[in-house]
Structure 1
Amino acid sequence: MAVEVVATVFTVLLCLFAFIGNTSIIALFFKVRTLQTVSNTLVTCLAVIDVGIASSYPIQCLVDLKKLSDNPECIAFMCIIMCLSVAHTYFTLALSIERYITISKPLKCCTIITERRCYIAIAIISVVSLVIGILPVMMPLFGNTESLETDCRLATVFINGYTAWVFANWVMPLPAIIFLYIRVFILVKRHVKRIQASEAASHLGAQNSGFKLKREAKTALLLLFMVAYFIVVRIPFILVVAVTDPSESVMAYIITHFFAYSTSAVSPFIFGFGNKDYRKHFLSILKIK
């Protein structure tokens, strides 16, 4: 009974924050024309993915509580989760690359990061994630249908090789993402020092440029913390899947799943509302001065 109460509380909290945050980001993007930039297009794609992840969390809780055991749709559900989680990781990587190019090549970024290339990147990420996710459906050898009679979780539904491959797609981009945000932070700090030391620039111009770059530095640091959070919440889940017995670790699965899924609730407040323009338009809609 206590386990079910914990699962219910986690479900309500996660879904509430995830739906409010992500649907607000999506609505603002389509409502406010000035927000329809390449960077915000990627943020909106990430928000759409996060809505899908949050929507699947109640089902995941039922799976963890073994309310959906012996269900032939189990593999299909797990495939959807794999697809969404991989897409989330690669869209985060795409955002990191966009930020790095924008800061490191400010004069050329508009020609490097074009709308056409953005849509190509979105298409590639979508196709790659879809292929990775639906492999067990297309090729039954990746699934383990015999386990459905007793359990419906990742560790038992898929063969170990496929599970390890999915985990690799979760983890491999993370060092690159961390490296890019560290580079962004360092570049911004260097630019701020150069502007402050420049005697040629006017005092007002230097002050304005320095303020903008300091804001970029804070944003880069915030995003770096977000990536660190991804690592902190995903590694325990991977370890639980790898070393624990699914039949004896219900609470461990519920807790680690909650934190792994919680990235869908945290992302919009970092990637979206961490943007001053998003905050301004959101507050204006709420009529908060």
Structure 2
Amino acid sequence: MAMEVVATVFTVLLCLFAFVGNISIIALFFKVRTLQTVSNTLVTCVAFIDFGIASAYPIQCLVDLKKLSDNPECIAFMCIISILSVAHVYFTLALSIERYITISRPLKCFTILTERRCYIAIVIITGYSVTIGVLPVMMPLFGNTGSLENDCRLATVLINGYYAWVLANWVMPLPAIIFLYIRVFILVKRHAKQIQASEAASHLGAQNTGFKLKREAKTALLLLFVVAYIFVVRIPFILVVAVTDPSESVMAYIISHFFAYSTSAVSPFIFGFGNKDYRKHFLSILKIK
């Protein structure tokens, strides 16, 4: 009973923050034309995925509490979770690449980061994620239907080798993402020093440029924070899966899943509302109301 209460509280809190944050990001993107940039297109893709992840969390709690065991439909649920989780990390990687190109190639970024290339990246990431997610349906090559008689967790539904590959896709891009954001921060600080040392720039021009660079540095730190958070919460979950028995470690699964899924509530407030333009338009809508 106590575990069910804890799971219910976690579910309500996570879903509340995730739904409010991600729906706000998506609504603002489609409502405000000036927000419809390549960068914000990727942010909106992440928001859609986070909304899906948060929607799946209540079902995950029921799985952890053994309320959905012996249920053939849970293979479909696990496939959806695989798709969303893989897509989330690769869209985050795409966003970090976009940030790096924008800072390192400021004069060429608009020709490199075109809408067409952005949509191509979206199609590729979506196609790859869907492929990983639907392969377990092709039994018995990638999955184990016999496990559904006892449990319907990802670890038991998938065969060991393929499950390891899915987990690898959750974490493989994260070191590259962290490296890119560290590079972005270093480049921004370096550019700021060069502008301050330049005697050719006017005082006002240098001041305005310096302000923009400081904002970019702040954004890079915020994005680095959320990526580091994703990395930190996913590693314990993988360790819990690797070393514990689901039937004997229900609380460990509930807590580790909460933190793993909590990225869906953290991301919109960092990726979206860490952006000054998003905050401005969001506050303007609240004032109108």
Equivalent residue, structure 2, for 1:54: 54
Equivalent residue, structure 1, for 2:82: 82
Equivalent residue, structure 1, for 2:28: 28
SS state of the match for residue 199, structure 1? Answer: coil
What is the Cα deviation at residue 171 of structure 1? Answer: 1.0
**Cα distance in 2 for residues equivalent to 1:146 and 1:244:** 21
- Name the aligned partner's letter for residue 243 of structure 1: V
Please give the residue correspondences for 1:82-231 in structure 2 after superposition, counting only pairs within 5 Å: 82-231=82-231
- Name the aligned partner's letter for residue 259 of structure 2: F
- Name the aligned partner's letter for residue 28 of structure 1: L
1:155–1:242 CA contact under 8 A, matched in 2: no
- Name the aligned partner's letter for residue 108 of structure 2: K
Runs of 4+ in structure 1 over 6 Å off:
none
SS state of the match for residue 141, structure 2? Answer: helix
**Cα distance in 2 for residues equivalent to 1:89 and 1:127:** 14
**Cα distance in 2 for residues equivalent to 1:46 and 1:29:** 12
Equivalent residue, structure 1, for 2:18: 18
What is the Cα deviation at residue 148 of structure 1? Answer: 1.3
**Cα distance in 1 for residues equivalent to 2:6 and 2:139:** 36
Residue by residue over 1:249-274, the C-alpha shift from the partner in whole angstroms, topping out at 9 and shown as x without a partner, is 10000000000000000000000011
**Cα distance in 1 for residues equivalent to 2:271 and 2:140:** 37
- Name the aligned partner's letter for residue 260 of structure 1: A
**Cα distance in 1 for residues equivalent to 2:259 and 2:4:** 17
**Cα distance in 1 for residues equivalent to 2:74 and 2:141:** 15
Equivalent residue, structure 2, for 1:266: 266
What is the Cα deviation at residue 150 of structure 1? Answer: 1.6
Please give the residue correspondences for 1:222-241 in structure 2 after superposition, counting only pairs within 5 Å: 222-241=222-241
Equivalent residue, structure 2, for 1:257: 257
What is the Cα deviation at residue 139 of structure 1? Answer: 3.9
What is the Cα deviation at residue 51 of structure 1? Answer: 0.6
TM-score when scaled to structure 1? 0.98
Q: How many residues align?
A: 289
**Cα distance in 2 for residues equivalent to 1:11 and 1:140:** 33
What is the Cα deviation at residue 143 of structure 1? Answer: 1.4
What is the Cα deviation at residue 138 of structure 1? Answer: 2.6
Task: List alignment gaps of at least 5 residues for structure 1.
Answer: none
What is the Cα deviation at residue 288 of structure 1? Answer: 7.5
1:233–1:260 CA contact under 8 A, matched in 2: yes
Residue by residue over 1:70-107, the C-alpha shift from the partner in whole angstroms, topping out at 9 and shown as x without a partner, is 00011111000000000000000000000000000000
**Cα distance in 1 for residues equivalent to 2:148 and 2:270:** 38
**Cα distance in 2 for residues equivalent to 1:212 and 1:7:** 43
What is the Cα deviation at residue 199 of structure 1? Answer: 0.8
Residue by residue over 1:110-159, the C-alpha shift from the partner in whole angstroms, topping out at 9 and shown as x without a partner, is 00000000000000000000000010113432212112122111221111
**Cα distance in 2 for residues equivalent to 1:276 and 1:19:** 21
SS state of the match for residue 246, structure 1? Answer: coil
- Name the aligned partner's letter for residue 196 of structure 1: Q
2:237–2:257 CA contact under 8 A, matched in 1: yes
**Cα distance in 2 for residues equivalent to 1:282 and 1:37:** 17
SS state of the match for residue 140, structure 1? Answer: coil
2:139–2:145 CA contact under 8 A, matched in 1: no
Equivalent residue, structure 2, for 1:71: 71
**Cα distance in 2 for residues equivalent to 1:81 and 1:165:** 14
What is the Cα deviation at residue 44 of structure 1? Answer: 0.4
**Cα distance in 2 for residues equivalent to 1:17 and 1:144:** 35
**Cα distance in 2 for residues equivalent to 1:245 and 1:147:** 14
Task: List alignment gaps of at least 5 residues for structure 2.
Answer: none
Range with bigger deviation, 131-140 or 271-280: 131-140
SS state of the match for residue 106, structure 2? Answer: coil
- Name the aligned partner's letter for residue 239 of structure 1: L
